[in-house]
Amino acid sequence: MAAQGVTPRGEDYARWYSDVVRMADLAENAPVRGCMIIKPYGYELWENIKSALDSRFKATGHRNAYFPLFIPMSFITKEAEHVEGFTPELAVVTHGGGKELEEPLAVRPTSETVIGHSFANWIQSYRDLPLLINQWANVVRWELRPRLFLRTTEFLWQEGHTAHATEAEAVEHTMRMLDVYTDMATTECAIPVIKGLKSQQEKFAGAVDSYSIEGMMGNTWALQAGTSHFLGENFSKAFDIKYLAEDNTQQYAWTTSWGVSTRMVGGVIMAHGDDKGLRLPPRVAPYQVVITPIFKTDEDKDSVFAFASQVSELLAGAEVRHHIDERDGLSPGFKFNDWEMRGVPVRLEIGPRDVEGQSVMSARRDVPGKEGKQIVPLDAVAERIPALLTEIQESLLQEATAFRDSHLHEASSYDELKEQVKDGWSLIWHCGTRECEDRIKEETKASSRCFPLDINETWEPAGQTCTVCGQQAYGRAYFSRAY
């Protein structure tokens, strides 16, 4: 049984992606087009992302709750922009219990409306604010061009929803959660994201302002990996979320919402994968270490397995997520290649000679060949392996950062932008208008990603005009091809 390779990225990137998802056993297509079956290896990757987010949400004062999957259609229509934005993607239930329903029910595409309804009941006075809620759930947005993890009709996510007494506080919270996402993407997923303001055209339907984190994938396309929205009083007015202020006046609350989904799994795959397959950052990898026992005789097998379980105990003591590949009938070489393709950060080989030498041979996924190998004495396993994982995590982030930085360009003319978006992101002075963005998209396939916050100090700076259309610029924005 020979290990079959994935399609090289340079040959066909889309094919490479689907090969990796399938061969690494992450997910597969469901009977209903656009839906996905997330397999254990893919789900464990998501669970690690999820718990890294969940602990950050709790540390910033949020509590988890759960709201219904079905939302009365009348709720969806209460906020004008919201209904306009989501109607084309809605799945609607018209029958239940064998009867036509009096009011159709939307399968939640997002929960601002149903949560807004609850917030109106929960919030009475300024003492009830801020209200900081998060929900882990599935949502449905009908997808015409599905891609596993990247665009699926049903996906998993978290949606945070908060209400505040003042506009300033709500804006501050929107930015705080954007920072939480930035930290999670960078620290856990080793994806050096750029955070910024979305253009009015690209913002969330019903938001005043939307912010996003944008990561660069291995083919230089952008992936919007998380969004944080300042909703102003839009949903408060639609759902009557009012509170009694300290001065005894009735005020509308200011709300925010923010989400990260299973798209992030697609981001991890594409930000780090190479021509051999997946490369997982240790902090989110389902298995940080896989041990492959090597033996020929039964006698060797016993001693190799006994030694492997000693190593396993040391790894468990050091809280390293690991797995011993005990599969029968597969050669060590096959197993080694298989785990390499599946992106395991560190592979350990244990053969009779290692048992004799009381050591293991380690191989790094991110450093191919001899260079990435080292002999680790048994008594150093508990110390050296975690240190190695930290080193790999840092090195993947550095590599992704260097790759991104070498594909970030600045254009001083529309012609330059056209060239630059063929292989990277192009930063221009941008007016932010729909007309201009539509034109760029049609002519170059590149969309506006964001106005990066660390680049733009002020909006509509005097004397700066759009690189493409010449109108007053709103700020500097990145354009690129995107998922």
Binding-site ranges for Zn ion (CB under 5 A): 431, 436, 466, 468-469
To the nearest whole angstrom, how small is the minimum distance from the Cβ of residue 461 to Zn ion?
15
User: Could you tell me if 214 and 208 are in contact, meaning their C-beta atoms sit under 8 angstroms apart?
Assistant: no
Cα distance between residue 223 and residue 256, in whole Å: 22
Which residue in 180, 216, 182, 217 sits closest to 196, CA to CA? 182
Smaller CB separation from Zn ion, 287 or 429: 429
Q: How many angstroms separate the CA atoms of 229 and 171, rounded?
A: 9
**CB 467 to Zn ion: min, Å:** 8
Sign of CA dihedral 383, 271, 229, 160: negative
Q: Pick the closer one to Zn ion by CB: 86 or 474.
A: 474
For Zn ion, the closer CB: 134 or 467 = 467
CB of 446 to Zn ion, least distance (A): 13
The torsion angles phi and psi of 435, rounded to 5 degrees, stand at: -60, -50
Nearest distance in Å: CB 411, Zn ion: 13
Whichever of 180 and 440 has its CB closer to Zn ion, that residue is 440
CA 354, distance to chain mean position in Å, is: 40
Structure tokens that stand for 253 in this block: 């609350």
Nearer to Zn ion, 187 or 201 (CB): 201
Report, in Å, the least distance between residue 468 CB and Zn ion: 5
Kindly report the CA angle at 148 between 147 and 153, in degrees rounded to 5? Answer: 75
DSSP lists the bridge partners of residue 475 as: 430
Q: Among candidates 459, 468, 460, which has minimal Cα distance to 436?
A: 468
The nearer residue to Zn ion, 165 or 468, going by C-beta atoms, is 468
CB 423 to Zn ion: min, Å: 23
CB of 475 to Zn ion, least distance (A): 12
Q: Which two tokens stand for residue 428?
A: 């221009």
- Decide: 202 and 440 in contact? Cβ < 8 Å: no
Rounded to the nearest 10 degrees, how much is the dihedral formed by the CA atoms of 50, 55, 58, 59?
Answer: -140
Q: Which is nearer to Zn ion, 361 or 417 (CB)?
A: 417
Residue 134: exposure state from Cβ atoms within 10 A (0-12, 13-18, ≥19):
buried
CB of 369 to Zn ion, least distance (A): 49
d(CA 326, CA 92): 47
CB burial of 13-37 (b: ≥16 within 10 Å; e: otherwise) equals beebbebbbebbebbebbeeebbbe
Q: How far is the CB of 437 from Zn ion (least distance, A)?
A: 8
Query: Considering beta carbons, is residue 137 or 417 the nearer one to Zn ion?
Result: 417
- Which of residues 255 and 480 has its CB atom nearest to Zn ion in the complex? 480
Contact call for residues 323 and 291 (beta carbons, < 8 A): yes
- Least distance in angstroms from the C-beta of 433 to Zn ion: 6
Using CA atoms, how far apart are residues 255 and 276, in angstroms rounded to an integer? 45
Give 111 or 448: the residue with its C-beta nearer to Zn ion: 448
Q: Which is nearer to Zn ion, 17 or 414 (CB)?
A: 414
Minimum CB separation from Zn ion for residue 471, in Å?
5
